Amino acid sequence: MAERKAAFRRAPERPGLQSLLERAKTVVLTDQQLMEQRASFVYGNAPKGSRITKESARESAGRIRITKGPN
């Protein structure tokens, strides 16, 4: 079996990435931005050759309802 010791090393410091992550924590999306992200996700993950269009993805994103799970 292959040695996997390399996976136990800590990731190198990335101060630029860390500052971007901290800044991203403070961003508040509008409802419109959130809907556009959902539509983009749906469209981007549609199988090739499907009949899903960007517009149909936008329409479906408008019908999504988030509910609390059974926890």
For residue 1, pLDDT over 60 is answered with no
pLDDT at residue 17 in the model = 95
pLDDT at residue 21 in the model = 96
- What is d(CA 46, CA 53) in angstroms, rounded to the nearest whole number? 9
> pLDDT class for 28, splitting at 50, 70, 90?
very high
For residue 23, pLDDT over 70 is answered with yes
pLDDT at residue 9 in the model = 79
pLDDT at residue 11 in the model = 83
- What is d(CA 7, CA 12) in angstroms, rounded to the nearest whole number? 12
